[in-house]
Amino acid sequence: MFRKAKERDVDRITEIYEEIHTENEAGNMTTDWIRGIYPSRETALLAVCRGDMFVEEEEGRIVAAARINQEQVAEYANANWEYDAPDDQVMVLHTLVVSPKEKGQGYGTRFVAYYEAYALEHGCLYLRMDTSVHNQGARKLYQKLGYKEVSVVESEFNGISGIRLVCLEKKLAGGEL
């Protein structure tokens, strides 16, 4: 089940962030995120307050979370997008996280499918997202789901300098998934 996150979900979303930071620090993942900087409890709380944080629940527990909105980060202006899409027709997926304890069960794939359906419901045929150039797991997943890597842009990402973001894009054909 997918739904908008509520303030009571912030602790669990933060736990997922911490699980990912632990996996990064152990060398099991590479997101280029830094514990205490991004993502953090404040990241989740701000997104919940803005109303653009969504969660995926399985048997009453939150297994994944992400922000979905139409906010294109400033670095997107430097990307070589394939489609010259009007801003009001672009939906963006930010900071998709799946609990490492739930890895390999299709939660990320289902979250992206939800994102695509949400975009259509809001009249957006153009989908954009980014990930770290080092995040091979996310890059493979997004490519498998039909997203095209259009650019790598330099960024100071949420206070972390030297980040190289892979910009990905997909156009929903004729309003259908």
Q: Read off the pLDDT of residues 24-54 as tens digits, 9 standing for 90 and up.
A: 999 999 999 999 999 999 999 999 999 999 9
DSSP H stretches of helix in 3-40: 10-25
| Average of per-residue pLDDT across 8-15 | 98
Note the pLDDT of residue 144: 98
42: tokens are: 């404040």
Counting DSSP H helices and E strands in the chain, the numbers are 4, 7
| Average of per-residue pLDDT across 145-170 | 92
Domain CATH number, residue 30: 3.40.630.30
- Cα angle value 81/159/26 (rounded, 5°): 95
Q: What is the largest CA-CA distance in the chain?
A: 44
Peptide bond before residue 100 is cis, with ω within 30 degrees of 0: no
Distance CA 81, CA 175 (A): 19
39: tokens are: 């993502």
| Average of per-residue pLDDT across 108-120 | 98
Phi first, then psi: what are they for 165, rounded to 5°?
A: -95, 130
pLDDT band at 174 (very low <50, low <70, confident <90, very high): low
Count the neighbouring beta carbons within 10 Å of the beta carbon of residue 149: 15
Contacts of residue 169, Cβ cutoff 8 Å, sequence gap at least 6:
81, 82, 83, 126, 127, 128, 147, 148, 150
* Structural domains of the chain, count: 1
Beta bridge partners of 68: 93
pLDDT, one tens digit per residue, over 81-113 is 999 999 999 999 999 999 999 989 999 999 999
- Which residues span the domain enclosing 23? 2-175
**DSSP structural state of residue 26:** T
